[in-house]
Structure 1
Amino acid sequence: MGEGVKAMLARPIQLADEVAKQCAAARSFRAECAELKARADKLAALLRQAARAPDLYDRPAARIMAGATTALSRASALAARCARGHPRLRSLFTLSPAAGFPRAVAALDTALEDVAWLLRISSPGAAGDGDDDSLLGLPNIAQNEPILFFIWDHVARLHTGSPAARADSAANLASLARDSQHFAKLIIEEDGVPPLLKLLKDGTDEGQEAAARALGLLGCDAESVDKLVQAGVCSSFAAALKDPPMRVQAAVAEAIAGLADRSSTCQDLFAQNNTVRYLVGHLASGTIQEHSRYSVGSNSSKNTTASPQQPMKSLHSVVLAKTHSMRHTGGDHDTAIHTDEPPRMSNGGEQDAKRNPHMQSVVHSAMAAKTNTNGSFVPPFRPQLGTSGSSGRGAREVEDPEIKAHLKAMAAKALWKLAHNHLGVCKSITESRALLCFAVLLEKGDGDMGTEVQFFSAMAIMEIARVAEHSLVLRQSAFKPSSPAAKAVVDQLLRVVRKGEYDVLLLPCITALGCLARTFTASETRVIAPLVQLLDEREPPVTKEAVVALTKFACSENHLHVNHCKAIVDDGGARHLVQLVYLGDEIQIEALILLCYIALYVPESEELAQAGVLAVLLWASKQAHMVQDTRVEALLPDAKSRLELFQSRASR
């Protein structure tokens, strides 16, 4: 609603006065002209009332004024002929009153109804209290596209309705957007975004939640997301993430995930508005340190003021004591995790520490590493105060556990989508404690949302690993071998891969391990064997991901490719790859590429001779569909010649 539409009222008001004046001066068809004049007077009165209205809904007002102008122009032409007419010339009068006047009167009646409807929806309180679904009548201009009427009505209620009515209209707009992309685009075109943003800022809890869901659904494609970004949705979502209630924050996090998934243009803006920080804060709360607020490490940590750590008589002190004990007894922090029981951040800290002492020690080590940066402490994150004046932590403690779990799952999902192919977001995530959070959540999840948050955590780790694969800086900062958080992540990825169950977690964990291939040292011998085991008669997607992951260990870009190729052969990978090249169908080429790397770097291996690798390479060189692949064309001749040389020498 705006002032621009009032400029449109001048022309129809002038026309209405002109029609009334012409009808009063009519010399023929005076009865019909009197009826026409009555309609024109009523329409002029309504138009002047509209001009005095504080706000008018622009989108329908423009159409209504155009229709009223057309109707008044036709009525004016008809009245002008009657005013100029003469009784003696009536026989030459070509106008047919039976057809002309009824049509003009009907057109003015339509304009009257439409203007009256516009005034009703633009009046504060006209939308009612929202307890029912009563609508304010169907305007005639929406007869050809009735959905416009529903959109206009609900957008108007967002402006002028009571808090309950606004929440109800936001929920209805969300439902329309969910049903059809066409409806979502219509809502954006009909100026539905600004009132939804306003409702997200100052509405009731139900209204804010409904507005967040609606805005997330309106971004149905890249073009729509761009329009939402231009309207200021990024800063509004970031502000909503700071304050309770958690159900609103969960809806906002889910909306952020949807927008980031459909368009990459919003990732930078979300990062600039500290969205990543707030999402990681929700992810970390209750996950890695129960009794202290989450604090985000930053590049400016050198300049932060030292603040002493507060003593805690809970799980943190238990973990601290356990860590000191392990250090004095020479405990190995790098041993694999053999239990599926995750750390439970609860008051029963001693029991939880006994369940999984390894993860507890990793948690403490990562917390200490993040807290102490270059001799200074990272200041704790101060809880934000909500509009009611209560702190975010206090509000969090009284929330339903299911809502807490849902918020954590949606925060993980949003971070997954924001991290996709974006180095800046990945650096922000890894500079915080999010990697440790993902490791803890991947182990068992969180409450009733366990499987969901596990999946989102695995996908987030996979996206960060994909970016790290092509970024040396990110690999060195986030996945250095001495990092406790990186160790925890790798432990959990290996746990899922060793388990080998074909579920939603397996594929992203395999992919993540492959992308991190260049971060492992020569002493890290745990990774290859679980991946090789997945080559033996597994589901095709699992086998393909395992082959691709192992190829990243064996390729020339990996400086430890010789070590990794030997490990693949020692774990029995050659015979599995031979079978896959012969019978692997869609993964034949991927298996052949890995086999070529192995033949290049460990051609003297007796296991290759026993598996018949040379025969496989000779057979593959005669397969047209294989040699047409550029990667095979570059690798196969050298691999075949190297294998022929060493195996022929061994046979003499």
Structure 2
Amino acid sequence: MGEGVKAMLARPIQLADEVAKQCGAARCFRAECGELKARADKLAALLRQAARADLYDRPAARIMAGAQQALLKASSLAARCASGHPRLRRLFTLSPAAGFPRTIALLDTALEDVAWLLRISSPRSGGGGGGGGGGDDDGDGDDGDLRGLPNIAQNEPILFLIWDHVARLHTGGLAARADSAANLASLARDSQHFAKLIIEEDGVPPLLRLLKEGTDDGQEAAARALGLLGCDDESIEKLVQAGVCSVFAAALKDPPMRVQAAVADAIGTLAGRSATCQELFAQNNAVRYLVGHLASGTIQEHSRYSVGSSSSKNSAAAPQHMTSLHSVVLAKTLSMRHGGDRGTSSSTDEPPRVSNEQDTKRNQMQSVVQSAMAAKTKTNGSLVPPFRPQLGTSGSSGRGAVREVEDPETKARLKAMAARALWKLARGHLGVCKSITDSRALLCFAVLLEKGDGGMGTSVQYFSAMAIMEISRVAEHSLALRQSAFKPSSPAAKAVVDQLLHIVSKGDYDDLLLPCITALGCLARTFTASENRVIAPLVELLDEREPPVIKEAVLALTKFACNENHLHVNHCKAIVDSGGARHLVQLVYLGDEVQIEALILLCFIALHVPESEELAQAGVLAVLLWASKQAHMIQDMRVDALLPDAKGRLELFQSRASR
């Protein structure tokens, strides 16, 4: 109990003693004053008991204010009974029918409220405030039950429900604390107002303490509640000041996995709402631990990463053109590993393999991952150390045995939540994206895009696609990141692009299609002139598809054809050769939602390849002439800057061709 609470108690105790003294000296209405005195003595005893207890500050302030008001009224009434002529007071100044019953009711309310405050501020069933008592999980007694609501709960019952749960987080046993954390999480999920009340009523510190010290159920509930409390900037700022970022990052290191999954989910929620949280999680090494959880079971770690043969289940679905490209990369890698690396691969650190797996043909994704890892085994003639803590089996060393006993659903959920958290952390943050791509997370995302979560229903493919999209968006504006993570010779980049192309080529309108289209567009400047397999699948999406798909495809193709792309001429020719001109003409005429974007792409094509016969056959010049007369189109600043030059270039070259 702080000094502020002691100061709040001093005045009510003084008033209670004063009321008792005045009632003892009453000269009239002695029976009624006797009732007031009895209640004042009882209230004084409870207040002195409260002075010796460790009170919960937030409800104490309101309850002491109510008790003080009741005692002031009682003191005023008792003072009138203790002074003056009894008969005159009885006749002219006092109204016993209204005064005494109301004052007695106020004192009864104060007594009940103070008693409630003492109950919620006291340890129950031997549980203790530290949560380490021996009998606090028994369930007997009142430890697991709400301890009633005070009378002042009539105005705002939810507030006092929050008080009770927060108090149980301070004084209850382990099971009661876990239950209260789960209830607070439910309240925060139901309403942002409730979430703000929990923060205002000092609910964050005991939740953080429970996350550090509680049972598995309590830690999971505390992580879930803390993630839900960050509903706006003000709430997140208070969570940050309480140290939630460092506590979450530390919780990612230690099992159980279901707690780690809840923490990863909360990290994703907070990082998605606050750039400050992104930065703090990055500073506390959360990215490293999340990548470790993502890599576990996705790519195996011994002296280097490799993908087991079990990842070849979906090899039939992979594009066939991957084989030749990746075989070249693998052959080059194997030549680098000749000699010294052969001994490493046969060391005792490598896990045993089933005999029939040695005879199984490795699929395309496995070859890419192996080549990427083998390319890192030698740097300046020396082998990379076999231990890489930033990609440990479970985010920390020595946790592999614990991970093996977890059920598949928990493993899949942790992997999905790690992917979601990395997606949110990577959004617009160059440092996080650099940390992710410097690790082998890109390979993990590529593998997860290919084989998913084994039917666990965790949306890990969607989270992986969104993470790749956010990293690609940052790379679009960062030359250093493009050169380090998405250079054409990078096996990890090839693996990612292959999976993006596979999804875009299928063209199924699902959760994966739009982020994959966006990612390919953002990576437009990383493709070489000889990489001509990207344009055609995007052009095919322009033909009678869903409006969101058409719009994303047009935007992606524009990034290939724009002036900022130094290979814009090659890409424009590829768009025209794939039949893109006629699709764009139709979209400019008829595409309500994509008219402007389609016109801009058509202008870039007309600027860069005006001599193309396909443009003449598609009637592009007529479209540009028509568009120049449409007020709603030329009002767009981008169209106004491109359309005159594109129309002039097209008129010049097509008129020459006609002569």
**SS of equivalent residue, structure 1 residue 448:** coil
The residue aligned with 2:647 is: 640
State the distance in 1 between where 2:454 and 2:480 align: 36
Which residue does the alignment assign to 2:534? Answer: 527
Deviation at 1:390, TM superposition (A): 10
254-263 vs 199-208, which deviates more? 254-263
CA separation of 1:649 and 1:480: change in aligned 2, threshold 3 A: same
Query: Residue by residue, what CA displacement relative to the aligned partner does 1:596-647 show, whole Å, maximum 9, x if unpaired?
Result: 0000000001111111100110011111111111100000000000000000
Match for residue 445 of structure 2? 438
Aligned counterparts of 2:93 and 2:651: Cα–Cα separation in 1:
104
Q: What do residues 545-601 of structure 1 show as CA deviations (whole Å, max 9, x unaligned)? A: 000000000000001101100111111111111111111111011000000000000
CA contact (8 A) 2:47 2:114 kept: yes
The reply on whether 1:29 has 2:35 as its aligned counterpart is no
Q: What amino acid is the match of 1:121?
A: I
- Alignment partner of 1:101: what SS? helix
Q: Distance in 2 between the 1:333 and 1:432 partners?
A: 19
Would you say 1:80 and 2:103 are equivalent positions? no
Instruction: Give runs of aligned pairs for residues 145-164 of structure 1, distance below 5 A.
Output: 145-164=156-175
Instruction: Report Cα offsets for 1:154-212 as digits up to 9, x if no partner.
Output: 11111111111111111111111111111111111111111111110010001101111
Q: Does the alignment pair 1:141 with 2:152?
A: yes
Residue 484 (structure 1) aligns with: 491
* 2:235 alignment partner, one of 224, 242, 247: 224
Q: 1:201 to 1:560 in 2, by over 3 A?
A: same
Write the distance in 2 (CA, Å) between the matches of 1:426 and 1:330. 25
Quote the Cα distance in structure 2 between the aligned partners of 1:542 and 1:203: 47
Distance 2:646 2:117 in 1: 78
Superposition TM-score, scaled by structure 1 size: 0.89
The equivalent residue for 1:112 is 111
Could you tell me the percent identity over the aligned residues? 80
Determine which of 577, 586, 590 is the counterpart of 1:579: 586
TM-score by length of 2: 0.89
What is aligned with 1:609? Answer: 616
> In the TM superposition, what is the alpha-carbon distance from 1:328 to its structure 2 partner?
13
Tell me which residue corresponds to 1:46: 46
Greater Cα offset, 213-222 or 635-644: 213-222
- Residue in structure 1 matching 2:401, options 394, 401, 417: 394
SS in 1 for 2:594: helix
**Alpha carbons of 1:101 and 1:451: their partners in 2 closer, same or farther (altered >3 Å)?**
closer
User: In 2 relative to 1, CA 554–367 (structure 1 residues): closer, same or farther, beyond 3 Å?
Assistant: same
Report 1:329-478 matches (<5 A).
331-333=327-329, 347-348=353-354, 351=357, 354=360, 356-373=362-379, 375=382, 377=384, 380-382=387-389, 391-449=398-456, 452-478=459-485
Q: Give ranges in structure 2 of 5+ residues lacking alignment.
A: 128-135, 313-321, 332-350
Partner secondary structure for residue 252 of structure 2: helix
Partners of 2:99 and 2:305 in 1: how far apart? 90
1:251 deviates by 0.5
Asked whether the 8 Å contact 1:19–1:79 carries over to 2, the reply is yes
Q: 2 CA distance for matches of 1:311 and 1:165?
A: 44
Q: Which residue of 2 aligns with 1:261?
A: 272
Q: Which runs of 5+ in 1 are unaligned?
A: 293-308, 319-325, 336-344
User: Which deviations, in whole Å up to 9, do the C-alpha atoms of 1:232-251 show, x marking residues without a partner?
Assistant: 11011111100000000001
| Range with bigger deviation, 519-528 or 202-211 | 519-528
Displacement of 1:87: 2.6
Aligned length: 615
Specify the code of the residue in structure 2 equivalent to 1:25: A
Q: Is the 8 A contact 2:330 2:367 kept in 1?
A: no
Task: Give the C-alpha shift of residue 130 in structure 1.
Answer: 7.9
Question: What is the match of residue 94 of structure 1?
Answer: 93
Q: Hey, what's the Cα distance between the residues in 1 that align with 2:533 and 2:308? A: 34
Return closer, same or farther for 1:370/1:267 CA change in 2, 3 Å cut-off: farther
Residue 75 of structure 1 aligns with an amino acid whose one-letter code is A
Structure 1 counterpart of 2:130: none
Instruction: Sort the Cα spacing of 1:402 and 1:634 in 2 relative to 1 into closer, same or farther, 3 A.
Output: same
- Verify the 8 A CA contact 1:315 1:349 in the aligned structure 2: no
> Where in structure 2 are the equivalents of 1:289-304 lying within 5 Å?
289=300, 291-292=301-302
Contact 2:5 2:60 in 1 (8 A): yes
Q: What is the letter of the counterpart of residue 560 of structure 2?
A: F
C-alpha separation in 1, matches of 2:304 and 2:424: 35
Q: Offset of 1:438 from its aligned partner?
A: 0.4
| 1:323 corresponding residue in structure 2 | none
The answer for the alignment partner of 1:303 in structure 2 is none
Between the aligned partners of 1:268 and 1:311, the Cα distance in structure 2 is 29
CA distance in 2, matches of 1:178, 1:384: 33
**Secondary structure of the corresponding residue to residue 603 of structure 1:** coil
For residues 40 and 424 of structure 1, what CA distance do their matches in structure 2 show? 64
* Distance (Å, rounded) in 1 between the aligned partners of 2:397 and 2:602: 62
State the AA in 1 paired with 2:594.
I
- The 2-side partners of 1:176 and 1:130 are apart by 26
Q: Please, which moves more after superposition, 345-354 or 428-437? A: 345-354
**Alignment correspondent of 1:62:** 61
Name the structure 2 match of 1:560. Answer: 567
In the alignment, the residues of structure 2 paired with residue 385 and residue 288 of structure 1 have an alpha-carbon distance, to the nearest angstrom, of 10
Q: 2:212 aligns with which of 201, 210, 229?
A: 201
Aligned to 1:304: none
Q: 2:621 corresponds to which letter in structure 1?
A: L
Partner deviation per Cα, 1:66-97 (whole Å, 9 max, x = no partner): 11111111111111121122235336641211
Contact 2:588–2:594 (CA<8 Å) still a contact in 1? Answer: yes
| Mapped partners of 1:348, 1:448: distance in 2 | 24
Distance across 1 between alignment mates of 2:121 and 2:281: 34
Q: Give the match's secondary structure for 1:134.
A: coil
Query: How far apart are 1:446 and its partner, in Å?
Result: 2.0
1:330, 1:637 → 2: CA distance? Answer: 45
Determine which of 270, 273, 276 is the counterpart of 2:287. 276
Compare 20-29 and 120-129 and name the one that shifted more: 120-129
| RMSD of Structure 2 on Structure 1 (CA) | 2.8
Contact 1:47–1:115 under 8 Å retained in 2 = yes
How far apart, CA to CA, are the structure 2 residues paired with 1:346 and 1:107?
A: 77
Q: Does 1:250 align with 2:257?
A: no
Q: Which amino acid aligns with 2:442?
A: L
Change (3 A) 1:643 1:83: same
Q: Which amino acid aligns with 2:16?
A: A
Question: Are 1:517 and 2:516 matched, yes or no?
Answer: no
3-state DSSP class of the match of 2:146?
coil
Name the CA distance, whole Å, in 2 between partners of 1:555 and 1:46: 78
CA contact (8 A) 1:370 1:378 kept: no
- Distance in 1, matches of 2:514 and 2:574, equals 22
